[in-house]
Amino acid sequence: MASEVQFFRYRSIRKAVLLEVKHQISVGHRLILLVAFQTAIAALLVFTALSAISAVAVDARYMYQFQFLGVGEIGKAMEVAAQLQSFFATESFGVHSRTPVSIPNVVSQLEAFYKRYRAEWETAKGNTPDAIRFRKDLLGAGETGFLEKESKALMDLEESIQTLKADEEGSSADKPVQTRWSNARKVRENLATLYDVNVAYARLANEHVTSRTRSARNRLFTIGILGTALTLFLGVFVHRAIAPRIRRLVTKVNRFREFGVNEQIVETGKDEITVLAHALDSGFAAIAAREREREEFLAVAAHELKTPVTSIQGYASLLISHPEQTSLVPRALEIIHRQSWRLSRLVEDLFLAMRARASQLRFQPEPLDLSGLVQRLLLEVSPLISHEAFLARVKPSVKILGDEALLDHALWSLFICASALSARNQPVRVVLDSAAAFATVSIDVQGSENSAQQIEELFTPFRSVQYESGSGIRAAVGLYLCREIVRVHNGRLRVRDVSNKGAEFLMELPL
Amino acid sequence: MTAILRNTILVIDDDPDCRGMIEALAQIRSVPVLQAPDCREGLRVLEREHWRIKIILLDYFMPGMEPAQCAASIVARAGTAIPVVLMTAAVDATARAAELNVGRCLSKPFDFAALETLLTET
């Protein structure tokens, strides 16, 4: 039971660690890890290959210098010994050889060979690195018999060479040719024994070298296979940690593109994909919000356009259906005329708003009597307002350089908007004044439930929700345009809170 | 005992031209009309003249009160005796009416024949 609990605890910890690794390590770090691992594997392979090549080169030199050269030199010494033996054999039959042999020279050659062998090729007691290495190999393989054989062969060879030398240094006549032949034969036989030992050495060394080469090849192969497998595993791990999430992102992007469905992308990590997912989320949310605002704007615009059309069509239908009602004609025509004019202003407003959105507002400044414009607009707007009146204080003869058509729209929209935002039966106070460098038009919004901050939102493109839910929808279209118009006049349009009264629009235009 | 005669139309709309047009048409048809420019005034008129109102024509967007709150108050006060017809220039008039729990709706601009029929309904 306890082990089961431990197992589940281990699994849950492992899962948590994997999730942590999966979502916390950045994509860049994952890729760096993958590349670093691949580089390490490649470096290990190169290092192992270089080591193997180096070992093969060392073995080749060793096989040549220590093994084959030694065997070759023994073979030559055997030839010399055989010549000497053959010479004594000929002499023993009383026949003088055609090719005279210098016996001291031969003995000297054999002595030189013996000394060189002891110095360069002796394995049993030699001190060269090759000898030490080979001795170690032989001890490792349990082939110590050859070492004894070599020692004995060398001892016998030295003794036989010394005997030959003593024969030569003493009186030649003292020793019968037969004995000297026999001594030469011993030298040759000892050399043959040494030759056999060295041939066996060469065979064993070859086996060792072959084994080492095979082992290096296997090591290379194993590292290659393991490295490839681990790299693949790591690659799959990186792929699984990245690709499905990117696929999910792409699916959501496609769904948004094709169907306009904005689904939140749930990514809980801290890596770049999560950052990308959050950026996409907020981007889509902004696009969706903008789309909603656009739809609302269109709905409001349609509603706005329908309101004057309702009166125009209604009165026209009334006159057509009841032509006998002649007393209605003047009033009906007056309403049709007024609402047609309102409709044309709305259409113009929409058109200008679209141009402003595309930064294509046409600005044609001319000397303009702002006082006259404000007074005329107040007269025009008053009949459109059902209950509020305007209390105007207009400084006469305020002249600016401005575009009359644009300012006409801006002021008209602001008057309507201020009227609609103000509390019922509250007059809208309009003041036109001028200071050193600016003409200022202030329009009060009294008793409004909206703060300056809320009213400020009405200047956002397509923003009209608060306005329509608060105090009607009639002037929502014009506010974004108003600020654009004032901006192209190098002026400023603000909304500010006025203590105890509500808010006010403040338009400043350069004189 | 005198039977109560419900023959009056109550028009609640902030657009005076629209109210005037309905009133003119109603007068031609000899239907008495009461007017209110907003929801609060409409509620006051409804309270006062409830006994004689046969139908209420209610605009959707009006200053001073949210459409849902306005419609709920009017429908609640009208009760089952007085049908409420929503007038709206919104694109989805039927959906707006359903949203406000108002049974009938009339799209702006009006279908004049439908408006006349509505005014002369008993």
For residue B59, give the chain A residue with the closest CA: A307
Q: Minimal Cα distance from A448: which residue of B?
A: B64
Amino acid letter, residue B87:
M
Cα distance between residue A48 and residue A42, in whole Å: 10
pLDDT score recorded for residue A21: 56
Residue A508 has pLDDT above 90, yes or no: yes
Helix (H) or strand (E) run with residue A366 in it:
strand A366-369
- Rounded to an integer, the average pLDDT of B90-118 is 86
Contact residues, chain B, for A422 at CB < 8 Å:
none
**Contact status, residue B57 vs residue B78, Cβ threshold 8 Å:** no
DSSP collapsed to 3 states, A391-421: EEEECCCCEEEECHHHHHHHHHHHHHHHHHH
Give the mean pLDDT of chain B. 87
Q: What is the pLDDT of residue A465?
A: 36
What single DSSP character describes residue B122? -
pLDDT of residue A117: 93
- Give pLDDT, residue A220: 87
pLDDT the model gives residue A329: 92
| Residues in B touching A313 (Cβ below 8 Å) | 109-110, 112
Q: Say whether B38 and A424 touch across the interface (CB within 8 A).
A: yes
- Please say whether the beta carbons of A230 and A41 come within 8 A: yes
Q: A310 and B108 in contact by Cβ < 8 A?
A: yes
Q: Is the pLDDT of residue A491 over 60?
A: yes
**Minimal C-alpha gap between B2 and chain A (Å):** 35
The reported pLDDT for the residue numbered A469 is 32
pLDDT given for residue A6 in this prediction: 66
Residue of B nearest to A301 (CA): B90
Say what the pLDDT of residue A474 is: 45
pLDDT at A379: 85
The whole-angstrom distance between A316's CA and the closest CA on chain B is: 10
pLDDT tens digits, B22-44: 999 999 999 999 999 889 999 99
Domains along chain B? 8-120 (3.40.50.2300)
Given pLDDT bands bounded at 50, 70 and 90, which one contains residue B97?
A: confident
The pLDDT tens digits of the residues spanning A462-484 come to 554 333 333 333 444 557 788 88
Closest CA to A30 of A235, A222, A218: A235
Q: Average pLDDT, stretch A282-307? A: 81
Bigger pLDDT: A300 vs A225: A225
User: Among A249, A268, A231, which residue's Cα sits nearest to residue A19?
Assistant: A268
Instruction: Please check whether residue A191 is in contact with residue A74, taking contact to mean a CB–CB distance below 8 angstroms.
Output: yes
Residues of chain B in Cβ contact (below 8 Å) with chain A? 14-18, 20-22, 24-25, 28, 37-38, 61-64, 66, 88-91, 108-110, 112, 115-116
Q: How confident is the model at residue A172 (pLDDT cuts 50, 70, 90)?
A: low
pLDDT of residue A14: 63
- Model pLDDT for residues A9-51, shown as the tens digit of each residue: 667 666 655 555 555 677 778 788 888 888 988 898 899 889 8
d(CA A24, CA A494): 47
Per-residue burial over A370-393, b = 16 or more CB atoms within 10 Å of its CB, e = otherwise: bbebbbebbebbeebbeebebebe
pLDDT confidence band for A292 (50 / 70 / 90): confident
User: Which are the contacts of A81, defined by CB distance < 8 A and separation ≥ 6?
Assistant: A110, A184, A187, A188, A191
> C-alpha angle A347/A348/A354, rounded to 5°?
90
pLDDT at B70 over 80: yes
Q: Residues of chain B with pLDDT > 90: what percent? A: 43
Give contacts of B61 with chain A, Cβ < 8 Å: 303, 468, 472-473
Q: Which residues on adjacent β-strands are paired with residue A368? A: A400
Span A485-501, average pLDDT: 84
| Mean pLDDT for chain A overall | 82
Query: What pLDDT is recorded for position A123?
Result: 92
Select, from the ranges A78-87, A112-121, A417-426, A490-499, the one with the highest average predicted confidence (pLDDT): A112-121
Whether A388 and A426 have beta carbons less than 8 Å apart is answered as: yes
Determine what percent of chain A is predicted with pLDDT higher than 90: 27
A227: tokens are 């490295």
In the block, which residue shows the tokens 């070992």?
A55
What is the Cα–Cα distance from A429 to A440, expressed in whole angstroms?
13
Encoded tokens for A440: 């200022």
Q: How many CB atoms lie within 10 A of CB A226?
A: 12
The whole-number pLDDT of residue A364 equals 87
How confident is the model over A375-399, as pLDDT tens digits?
998 888 776 665 557 888 999 989 9
Under CATH, which number does the domain A361-510 receive?
A: 3.30.565.10
> Once rounded to an integer, what is the mean pLDDT over residues A175-183?
82
Domain boundaries, given as residue ranges, for chain A: 25-237, 361-510
CA angle A448/A451/A453 to nearest 5° reads 145
CA distance A447 to A457: 18
Beta bridge partners of A432: A394, A441
In 10 A of CB A322, how many CB atoms?
15
Longest dimension (CA), chain A: 178
Is residue A218 within 8 Å of A49, Cβ to Cβ?
Answer: no
